[in-house]
Amino acid sequence: MTKIRSSALEASALPSPDEESPATSERAMRRRPSHYLDALNSEQREAVETLDGPLLVLAGAGTGKTRVLTTRIGHILSLGRAWPSQILAVTFTNKAAREMKARIGDLIGGVVEGMPWLGTFHAIGVKILRRHAELVDLKPSFTVLDTDDQIRLLKQLLEAENIDEKRWPARALAAMIDGWKNRGLVPKRVPEGESFAFANGKARDLYALYQRRLKELNAADFGDLLLENLRLFQEHQDVLEKYQQRFLFTLVDEYQDSNVAQYLWLRLLAQGNGNICCVGDDDQSIYGWRGAEVDNILRFETDFPGAKIIRLERNYRSTGHILGAASGLIAHNKGRLGKTLRTDAGLGDKVAVEGCWDDEEEARIMGEDIEQLQRQGHSLSEIAILVRASFQMRAFEDRFITLGLPYRVVGGPRFYERQEIRDATAYFEVTLNPANDLKFERIANTPRRGLGESTLKSLHQLARAQSVPLFQAARLIVETEELKPKPRKALLDLISAFDRWRSLIDTMRHTELAELILDESGYTGMWQAERSPQAQSKLENLKELIRFMEEFDTLAGFLEHVSLVMDAQTEEGADRVNLMTLHSAKGLEFDTVFLPGWDEGLLPHQRSLDEAGRSGLEEERRLAHVGLTRARKHAKITFAQNRRNHGTWQTALPSRFIDELPVDHIAVAEDKGLRGYGPSRFDSAETLFASGFYETPGWRRAQRNRPPGSGASAKPGQITIDGTLVASSTAEGAGLAIGMRVFHQKFGYGRVVQIDGNKLTVDFEKAGQKKVVDSFVERA
DNA sequence: AACTAATACTTTTTT
DNA sequence: AGTATTAGTT
């Protein structure tokens, strides 16, 4: 247990919430240790002071959820009810964990070294698992697999089982296994029936096989971090009791995002003393597709008998109209506990609603709006554009680039998920732990060193026959004549390189060693040789990685954290418009929020509707609600009538969520007209919308009944022939001849240099000389 | 083994 | 339409 001297506790009696006047001195705080409670409203205060027994804090958007959590921890500490090391506080993201640490630090003054059990479910899971690894058939040094490794492993399994990977993709199996793990199901507990969804009922066996392989590799995937913990607690009562006794208080953030496994885990731990406090908002549950169970929060009272529920309904973020619009919208959901958000701020601006012709116009309008805001002195970083799906971002990026408007894409591929980062860490991992087959395989032929499929295959064969790791098999095989001289030499070089790097671990600084490895392996060289702009940024990222390593003392320490704790470094500071998905916007707030793409089929996403029916619709509605409640002062919703889906133009109707917004809180933009696009090609959404008819049931019916092809289905001035462009040809048949000018979809215009049957050599004006198939070019 | 052409896929994504 | 993976070819 971490030692915290009483001085630390004294210090903890001095919480200083941000609003507190600087005049409040440390000494004053000591005299009146409950002063920090004064900064809370009555519900918040109750949530902080109700320490014993199960407590659910239903915290609507912007009601001070994090403040309650951190103050509660501060309160526990200042009352001396527990040492920092006796408090378990779990979050879902590293970001949330970091923020909580920082805020508790502010509260009790200084860095919170003494909160070893504040972290994500997974981080805490790993920590516990390492201590008791042997009890779940792992060694304490087990590695955590990322998604790539997981898929690769499953692919191998499928191959070994002779299952057609075309028909039964490894990804699908991975999704199923993850699903089971999220529900806390070990292979033998998987219901028979569910097995049939994959490879004619082999799914469960494959899952069992996969788990066995993981143990052999001394590895755990993300799901295991919880599932194995669960198993540990269930099978070893003594271990469970130890933790039950240790954790005097348990706090959970974003409880609505928890899955069954997490719920079971929490319940086991909370059975000790029952002091569990979950904070969440059922109206912000948007991760159902990833296994989150809204039911966990809806059922809290039943799951934890005697639970107290406190609602935080006073919103400190948004103005009245925005809150009114959001509340009116979410009120359409049936499965919710129900909260009524209110604010003391004025009504503010109504939520603007505007229709557009297509996504380009949508982007253009927002670009104009943002430029205007900018002229008024609005900070760009206080503006966010929240989209449902990432493909929507493109239109905005295009527009912003032409406008020269600085923007930043938030979310996207995480730092650690980038190819070059994974490759690099794979090198470090193998250096440290040569038995890590998956990582070894990942980089064996990256950069290309002539160790192709066939070599890897013989390695696998040998490894399996001798039941040794691939690296060991490599050692053996280079002693034989098994391989041809070239790959044999390459393999030998690789092995000795790794051996040498390994010998340097103890003597060399870990960051230097890392650079050495990347250098000598030819990995950096590989990217340097590729003179593409991406290669440049990849090299930058590798530098960033080394910089990040500085924060750790050893290579091992770094690797322990890298897969769990590393995320994109969002360069703060620069004044840029934020562009992100609704999902990644949860927990953030901005003065002005733009919500494009409220189209039927996109915001209630069609797929969500198809796959999950009403509950899917409700989740989509929560997503819309999350979007609206991100805004402090201004919100604008737009929808487009035409959206390019996968290549083809499709007409779209305004989202049903627009109909559901209370009329009083929204302002429908005046018809800006279709600006010269043909005369009344579609007398529907926009025109009627703007003339005030949009709220009538008749209008809605008209919208729904409108045949999908009516109105314009293509961009004016653009001739689209739906379906096929039939002209097929052989080179001769199409009348192609040497010297003829042709057009190719990808390469543009060029001149035919040579004809070889149906293959052409064309000298393209932009792309240079290429060999193409005749059917891909047309006469220009 | 490495390139090119054909094909398949396309919601959201903490760890 | 565009990209990412796979299959086929050299």
DSSP 8-class letter at A361? H
Number of other residues whose CB lies within 10 A of the CB of residue A765: 12
Cβ neighbours for A607, distance < 8 A, ≥ 6 positions apart: none
In angstroms, the CA A306 to CA A50 distance is: 13
pLDDT at A684: 37
Does the pLDDT at position A145 exceed 90? no
Does the pLDDT at position A199 exceed 60? yes
Query: Per DSSP, what are the bridge partners of residue A57?
Result: A279, A310
Q: Indicate the pairing of strand A748-756 with strand A741-744.
A: antiparallel
Exposure of A407 in the CB half-sphere (CA atoms within 13 A): 27
Provide the pLDDT confidence category of residue A290 given band limits of 50, 70 and 90. Answer: confident
Tell which strand B nucleotides have any atom below 7 Å from a protein Cβ: 1-2, 4-6, 9-15
Greater model confidence, A167 or A334: A334
Cβ neighbours for A297, distance < 8 A, ≥ 6 positions apart: A56, A58, A255, A256, A258, A278, A280, A282, A285, A337
In angstroms, the CA A373 to CA A369 distance is: 6
CA A770-A771-A776 angle, to 5 degrees, is: 100
Helix A470-477 and helix A485-504, axial crossing angle in degrees, nearest 10: 130
Does the pLDDT at position A762 exceed 80? no
Q: Is A311 a catalytic residue?
A: no
In angstroms, the CA A90 to CA A101 distance is: 11
- Whole-number percent of chain A with pLDDT over 90: 39
> What confidence tens digit (pLDDT) does each residue in A334-392 have?
888 888 989 988 888 999 998 888 888 888 889 999 999 999 999 999 999 999 998 88
Say if residues A463 and A456 touch (Cβ distance below 8 Å). Answer: no
In angstroms, the CA A459 to CA A492 distance is: 13
pLDDT at A748: 58
Listing DSSP states for A661-719 in one string gives: S-GGGEEEPP----TTS-TTS--SHHHHHHTT-TTSHHHHHHHHHS-TT-S--S-TT--
Does the pLDDT at position A611 exceed 60? yes
3-state secondary structure A382-437: HEEEEECCHHHHHHHHHHHHHHCCCEEECCCCCHHHCHHHHHHHHHHHHHHCCCCH
Does the pLDDT at position A268 exceed 60? yes
Nearest nucleotide to the CA of A758, by C1', is B5
Which residue places its CA closest to the C1' of nucleotide B9?
Answer: A646
Q: Is A630 a catalytic residue?
A: yes
Q: Is A484 a catalytic residue?
A: no
Closest to A616 (Cα-Cα) out of A628, A602, A606, A627: A606
Average pLDDT over residues A679-703: 35
Q: Is A20 a catalytic residue?
A: no
- Within A566-605, where are the H helices? 582-585
Strand B and A567 CB separated by under 7 Å: yes
Q: Residue A360, exposed/middle/buried by CB under 10 A (0-12, 13-18, 19+)?
A: middle
> What confidence tens digit (pLDDT) does each residue in A299-313 have?
899 989 999 999 999
Say if residues A465 and A482 touch (Cβ distance below 8 Å). Answer: no
Q: Residue A374, exposed/middle/buried by CB under 10 A (0-12, 13-18, 19+)?
A: middle
Number of other residues whose CB lies within 10 A of the CB of residue A73: 28
Strand B and A744 CB separated by under 7 Å: no
> What confidence tens digit (pLDDT) does each residue in A120-135 have?
999 999 999 999 999 9
Nearest nucleotide to the CA of A647, by C1', is C1
Closest to A119 (Cα-Cα) out of A95, A86, A141: A95
Indicate the pTM of the whole model.
0.78
Query: Per DSSP, what are the bridge partners of residue A119?
Result: A90
Does the pLDDT at position A691 exceed 70? no
* The pair of three-digit structure tokens given for residue A276, joined into one six-digit string: 């569990």
User: Straight-line distance from CA A312 to C1' B11, in Å?
Assistant: 31
Cβ neighbours for A285, distance < 8 A, ≥ 6 positions apart: A256, A257, A292, A294, A297, A619, A622
Provide the pLDDT confidence category of residue A325 given band limits of 50, 70 and 90. Answer: very high
For chain A, what's the residue count?
780
Helix A419-432 and helix A555-565, axial crossing angle in degrees, nearest 10: 140
> What confidence tens digit (pLDDT) does each residue in A541-586 have?
888 889 888 888 899 888 877 777 766 555 566 788 999 999 999 9
Q: Is A178 a catalytic residue?
A: no
Closest to A354 (Cα-Cα) out of A346, A363, A345: A363
Q: Is A66 a catalytic residue?
A: yes
User: Straight-line distance from CA A95 to C1' B13, in Å?
Assistant: 15
Say if residues A265 and A305 touch (Cβ distance below 8 Å). Answer: no
> What confidence tens digit (pLDDT) does each residue in A82-101 have?
989 999 999 998 889 988 98
Helix A121-131 and helix A260-270, axial crossing angle in degrees, nearest 10: 60
> What confidence tens digit (pLDDT) does each residue in A422-441 have?
889 889 999 998 988 888 88
Average pLDDT, chain A: 80
Cβ neighbours for A512, distance < 8 A, ≥ 6 positions apart: none
